[in-house]
Amino acid sequence: MGKKTYVLVGTGGRAEFFYGAIAGRFRETAELLAFCDINRVRMDYANRMLREKYDYPEVQTYSSDRFDEMIAELKPDCVIVTSVDRTHYLYIVRAMELGCDVITEKPMTTDAEKCQEILDAVARTGRKVRVSFNYRYAPHHTKIRELIEDGAIGDVTSVHFEWLLNTKHGADYFRRWHRDKRNSGGLLVHKSTHHFDLVNFWIGSQPETVFAMGDLLFYGRENAERRGVTKFYDRATGNPNAEGDPFALTLDDNEHLKAMYLDAESEDGYRRDQSVFGDGISIEDTMSVTVRYQNRALLTYSLNAYLPWEGYRIAFNGTKGRIEANVVEQSYVNSGGDKALEGALQGASILVFPMFGEPYKAEFEEGEGGHGGGDPVLLNDLFGEPVEDRFNRAADHVDGARSILTGIAANLSMAQERAVKVSELVRFD
Ligand SMILES: NC(=O)c1ccc[n+]([C@@H]2O[C@H](COP(=O)([O-])OP(=O)(O)OC[C@H]3O[C@@H](n4cnc5c(N)ncnc54)[C@H](O)[C@@H]3O)[C@@H](O)[C@H]2O)c1
C-alpha cells in the first residue's frame, strides 16, 4: 500500500502533534505535502521545526485564500484541520467537496448551523471525517467503557461529573482567541466536547435535553476589581504591570512562543499573551449543566476554569451498583512546556461498588503520553496500520456532532433560560 498523503491547515500550537507524528513515527505510512494558514511566519516556523527537529524535508506553504489551489495541485488524500475552532467547518466542508477525507481537531465546529453544514457535506460527498478524540483512547477511559459495557453496574441511570481546569491550563483560554465566544463556542463547546464525548462513549447514548447555567465569576476585569486589584495591563510581554501576576504569560522569554506567536503578530494581530483580567471576555469560567440522555440516564456536570488542580471526579450510578473514578492530570499549556505531556496522567483510580457485593478497585495499565496515555494510541489509529478495536473508539462526524451538541444546546439554554432539546438543533438524515 502506498503512503497516504496529507496537508495541514492551521500551523499553531497543536499542529505539531500531527505533523510531528507524520514526520516521525509514521513516516513509512504517511506523507506530509503542505501547510496552509493565514500566517506565513507561523507556516515558516512549522517548516523549520520539520527540518530541524524531525529531519524531514520542508513542505510547500499556501496562504488560506489558496486552499482550493493547494488541493488541486497536490491532490492529498486527507486534510488535517488544526486552525481556530470557528474556521474548522470552512476547511472540513471544502476539503470534502474537493474529494478529500478530513481529520479535524476538536471541537468539530462551534454552532448548530456550521454543524449542519458539515453533516450535509458528508451526506453529499460521501467523504469521511475523523475527530481526534484522544481521551477515548486513554486506558482508564477505555476501562470505564469496558466495565459499563460488560454490565458491572447494570444500566447506568445517572452520572455526576465534575471537571477541574487549573490556573495554568484554565487561564490560557482567557488569554487568546478562545475568550471570544464566537471563536470557540465557549468552554462548554471548546473544552467540554472532550467530556461530553466521553459520556456519550461511556454510557453508549446521546444527549436529548439540556439545561445549563454559567457565568464569568473569576477572570475578567470586573471580577478582579471586585477583589481589590488596581493594577491592570492589556498584554503581559514587556509590561511592568504584569510583573508578579501569576496569570501573566510573556512571549519574549521563551524561544518557541516567541517564534510562533510574537514574531508572527505583525501578520494578523494575534496576541497570545493578553491579561486574563482584561475586558471583552465573552465566555464563562463557571458552568453547570444538566442533561437527559436518549437512554433516560441523567447527567449533572460542572466545569470551573481557575482551580488549584487539574482533572476530574465522576460517579456512575446504575441498577446494579456504582463506579467512582478520580483522575488527576498534569496539564501542559501551549506555553513552553513539554507537548507530549499535555494532559498526561498523574494518577487515576476506578472503584466499583456492586449493589450487594464487596467494593473493588478496577485494574488497568496506566498509559504513557498526553491525554492520559490516549495521544499515542490515537495517532496509531490515525496514521498507522489499522487494528481491530472492540471499543470502536475512532470518532466520526456523528460522534463529533453529538459531542458538541450538548455544549451548543447549553449555550442556547443559558441565553434563553430554558431547557433545550438537541433535536431542535440539527438533522442527522
Ligand atoms: N485535542 C486536543 O487535546 C487539543 C489541544 C490543543 C488544541 N486543540 C485544537 O487545535 C486547534 C488549534 O489550537 P492551537 O492551540 O494550536 O491554536 P493556535 O492559536 O496556536 O493556532 C491556530 C492556528 O490557526 C491559524 N488560523 C487562524 N485563522 C485561520 C484561517 N481562517 N485559516 C487558516 N488558519 C487560520 C492561526 O494563524 C494559527 O496558526 C483548536 O481547534 C483546538 O481546539 C486540541
Set of cell numbers at residue 284? 464563562
- What are the extents of the domains in the chain? 4-133, 135-219+281-373+395-424, 221-268
Neighbours of 134 (CB within 10 A): 28
Residue 97 to residue 205: CA distance in whole angstroms: 30
Query: What is the rounded CA–CA span in Å between residue 94 and residue 81?
Result: 11
Answer whether 104 contacts ligand 1 (Cβ < 6 A): no
On the CB side of 348, how many CA atoms lie within 13 Å of its CA?
Answer: 28
Return the H-helix or E-strand segment holding 88. helix 88-97
Span from the CA of 13 to the centroid of ligand 1 (angstroms): 7
Q: Is the pLDDT of residue 409 over 60?
A: yes
| Residue whose grid cell is 491550563 | 169
Q: What is the pTM of this model?
A: 0.96
pLDDT > 90? residue 210 = yes
At residue 242, does pLDDT exceed 70?
A: yes
pLDDT at position 251, please? 97
Is any atom of ligand 1 closer than 6 Å to the C-beta of 275? no
Confidence at residue 371, expressed as pLDDT on a 0 to 100 scale? 76
Q: Ligand 1 mean position to 269 CA, how many Å?
A: 15
Amino acid identity, position 58: E
What pLDDT was estimated at residue 315? 98
Convert the pLDDT of each residue in 45-59 to its tens digit. 999 999 999 999 999
Residue 253 has a pLDDT of 94
- State the average pLDDT over residues 74-88: 98
Identify which has the larger pLDDT, 334 or 193: 193
CATH fold group of domain 135-219+281-373+395-424: Dihydrodipicolinate Reductase; domain 2 (3.30.360)
Q: What is the pLDDT of residues 245-264, one digit of tens each?
A: 999 999 999 999 999 999 99
- Per-residue pLDDT at 429: 79
Would the CB of 38 count as within 6 Å of ligand 1?
yes
Identify the band that residue 208 occupies on the pLDDT scale cut at 50, 70 and 90. Answer: very high
Q: Give the closest residue (by CA) to ligand 1 atom 18.
A: 12
Percentage of the chain exceeding pLDDT 70? 97
The pLDDT assigned to 331 comes to 67
Residues 171 and 276 sit within 8 Å (Cβ to Cβ) = yes
**Domain 4-133 belongs in CATH node 3.40.50.720:** yes
Percent of the chain residues topping a pLDDT of 90: 88
- Distance CA(60)–CA(72), nearest Å, equals 13
Packing angle, helices 40-54 and 15-23, rounded to 10: 40
Domain pair 4-133 / 135-219+281-373+395-424, same fold? no
The residue to mutate among 14, 196, 330, 342, having the most atoms of ligand 1 within 8 angstroms of its beta carbon, is: 14
| CA-based nearest residue to 208, from 280, 290, 304 | 290
Question: Ligand 1 centroid vs 363 CA: distance in angstroms?
Answer: 36
Cell of 280: 471583552
206 lines ligand 1 (CB under 6 A): no
Contact 79, 91 (CB under 8 A): yes
- Closest approach atom of ligand 1 to CA 15: 16
